[in-house]
Amino acid sequence: MREVLEQLTQEFAGRIAAAPSYPDQLYAAIAIADIPAIAAALRSRHSARLAAVFAEDRVRPEAAFYNYYVFERRGNPCYLILRARIPAEDPRFPSLAPALPSVNWQEREIHDWFGIQAEGHPNPRRVALHDNWPDVHPLRKDFPLHTALPAFEGDQHVYRPTLGEGVFQIPVGPVHAGIIEPGHFNFAVAGEPILYLQLRMFYTHKGTEKLFEQLPAQKGVFLAESVSGDSAFSHATAFCQAVEKASGMDVPSRAGFMRTVLLELERIDNHIADVGAIAMDVGFVIANAHAGRLREMALAINEELTGSRLLRGMACLGGVRRDWSASQIAALRDAIATLEREFRDLVALLKSSDSTRDRLERTGFLHPEKASALGIVGVGGRASGIDLDVRRDHPYAAYRHLSWRVPVYQEGDVLRRMQVRIDEVFESVAMLRAALGDLPGGPHRAPDLVIEPGRCALSAVEGWRGEILYWVRTGPANRIERCKIKDPSMNNWPGLVEAVQGNIIADFPVINKSFNLSYSGTDR
């Protein structure tokens, strides 16, 4: 990325200034008016991907907000982070959404949280704060976390009408029929096929990013575990890595391997559950029963290693909270062997059913071009030709010591989203074996460190769902001044909207399950 930044600096003579950086994340200051041109140059001439856009309130010390644009480029482990000042008295920025649909929600979020207007945004309505909220901007520093807002008396969201003979709308949620998280889906259908789906998220918005600003970093780890409960360890690790990078904390190599083991275990238990749930949604109940049994085996080994079935209470700054004994590691090896054998049987069972394949193939097709425009990441991306994997592209923990195949398919249907999961379970099993074989000795945790205030850092983790990004600015007294969280679901929900079009509404559950996105991770 250094060459890219140098070329950019020449192209935009004098308007890009390098800022304090790390070897794997370059910072540069730009003028906010230049961002459309710079983003276009980065995307077209340097084939860079815009991974995240977010803002920060620096009004008190600097009389300004800042927008951050995180770019990455395939084959280069370094991120390029552009930082643009937005004066507090004139809070607006030029929207990139007309050219780049992937930032649609992110830019609107900046408006809702900070009151900075995305100028030229094609759909500048609220996204994160529901329409009935009063006119507040909760991530501004002058908005206290514990503000008691009055009863919401504003208007409810007005969905776009769908007109035409025989066309009708089906509202679903936020309380759903299954045991899942809340969100509202408004389907427009003509007969059975879905014409158009409108999503309303952020029902589980809990003020999480604001809450991070009130907690010491050590306690923030537990909050990160509760951002998305099925990715507790991935989110907590992403948070820890960001704080460690900002404060210059070295993580012992044993801890890096242990983190890798736990991250892969999280991938395995979730992927097994999803494979079962996809089978369930097309009526293959027995396959789901076996998957449920396997998942319980996986959760039992999670509990053996961390004290928690969902891997909670294990992540910490500087490593992991507890070391493993030889008997725990032996139990893990046994569990891996059983799981692999049983999972192979489960896959054979699934493949033996032609009717299952028939229901999954070409169902919920997400075109690779659309996936690319929407910035789809993770499992959903890899099933639609998007070859991204943070573990390979920006190695962390012990991934630089391991090798694996990243499964990528072009067909973009439910079958391939399931196949990506199946392939990844087997890859993860092999990675676990390799990581345990090379597990170094030494400490499992670095000594606590006083966190220097005013340092910023980005961290990325390939959670089982996809790319999880955390960006922190440290504050005084071991506190966090700003914590930006980006769950892969944020980008991927619009992918679901594309994938369901033209499918019969009865297939919506299985299409939704094949993405299995996090509501809480999106809503925070």
Q: Which of residues 320-379 bind other proteins (CB under 8 A)?
A: 321-322, 328, 345, 348-349, 352
Among positions 47-66, residues that touch other proteins (CB under 8 A) are none
Shortest distance, position 208 Cβ to other proteins, whole Å: 7
Report 267-286 residues binding other proteins (CB under 8 A): 273, 286
Under rule CB under 8 A, which residues in 18-47 are in contact with other proteins?
none
Binding segment toward other proteins, per CB under 8 A, in 198-206, 236-244, 253-261, 356-364: 198-206
Q: Using CB under 8 A, which of the segments 21-29, 34-42, 209-217, 479-487 binds other proteins? A: 209-217
Q: In this chain, which of 146, 155, 326, 354 binds other proteins, going by CB under 8 A?
A: 146
Among 175, 326, 450, 477, binds other proteins (CB under 8 A): 175
- For 115-142, give the DSSP string: --EEET-SS-S-SSS-TTS-S--TTSTT
Q: What is the smallest separation between the CB atom of 81 and other proteins, expressed in angstroms?
A: 28
Q: Is residue 171 classed exposed, middle or buried when 0-12, 13-18 and 19+ CB atoms within 10 A define those classes? A: exposed
- Beta-carbon contacts of 511 under 8 Å, excluding residues fewer than 6 positions away, are 363, 364, 414, 496, 499, 500, 503
**CA angle (272, 273, 275) in 5-degree steps:** 65
Burial 474-509 (b: 16+ CB within 10 A, else e): bbeebbbbbbbbbbbbbbbbbbbbbbbeebebebbb
Among 13, 148, 450, 477, binds other proteins (CB under 8 A): 148
Rounded Cα–Cα distance for residues 389 and 420 (Å): 12
Count the site residues for other proteins by CB under 8 A. 71
Closest approach of Cβ 340 to other proteins, in Å? 16
Region 223-252 residues binding other proteins, contact defined as CB under 8 A: 223, 226-230, 232
Question: Cα separation of 132 and 194, whole Å?
Answer: 28
Cα–Cα distance for residue pair 245/27, rounded to 1 Å: 14
In this structure, the dihedral spanned by the alpha carbons of residues 339, 340, 343 and 349, taken in order and rounded to 10 degrees, is -140
Q: Report if residue 443 touches other proteins, rule: CB under 8 A.
A: no
Nearest approach in angstroms of CB 147 to other proteins is 4
**Closer by beta carbon to other proteins, 110 or else 371:** 110
Alpha-carbon dihedral sign for residues 181, 102, 193, 380 = negative
Q: Which is nearer to other proteins, 24 or 342 (CB)?
A: 342
Positions in 460-519 near other proteins (CB under 8 A): 518-519
Strand ranges of the sheet holding 184-190, from the earlier edge strand across to the other edge: 167-172, 184-190, 194-200
> Using CB under 8 A, which of 267, 295, 359, 513 touches other proteins?
295
- Report the residue number, 156 or 403, with the smaller CB distance to other proteins: 156
Q: Binders of other proteins among 296-325, rule CB under 8 A?
A: 296, 299-301, 303-310, 312-313, 321-322
Shortest reach from residue 501's CB to other proteins, in Å: 25
Nearer Cβ to other proteins (259/290): 290
Backbone angles phi, psi at 231, to 5 degrees: -125, 35
- Of 139-147, 376-384, 402-410, 438-446, which segment contacts other proteins by CB under 8 A? 139-147
Site string for other proteins, 115-134 (x = CB under 8 A): ---------------x--x-
Which CB atom, from 41 or from 349, has the smaller least distance to other proteins?
A: 349
Which one of residues 290, 382, 421, 482 is an interface residue with other proteins (CB under 8 A)?
Answer: 290
Min. distance of Cβ 291 from other proteins in angstroms?
9
Minimum distance, C-beta of residue 341 to other proteins, in the bound complex (Å): 12
The CA distance from 134 to 138, in Å, is: 11
Q: State the CB neighbour count (10 A cutoff) for residue 239.
A: 29
Residue in 19, 40, 63, 145 binding other proteins, rule: CB under 8 A: 145
Looking at beta carbons only, is 67 or 270 nearer to other proteins? Answer: 270
Altogether, the residues listed in the chain come to a count of 524
Q: Looking at beta carbons only, is 119 or 345 nearer to other proteins?
A: 345
Look at residues 396, 397, 416, 398 and name the one whose alpha carbon lies nearest to residue 408.
416
Nearer to other proteins, 102 or 228 (CB): 228
Cβ atoms of 49 and 104 closer than 8 Å: no
Q: Which stretch binds other proteins (CB under 8 A): 35-43, 102-110, 135-143, 405-413?
A: 135-143
**Cis-peptide into 171, omega within 30 deg:** no
Neighbours of 372 (CB within 10 A): 15
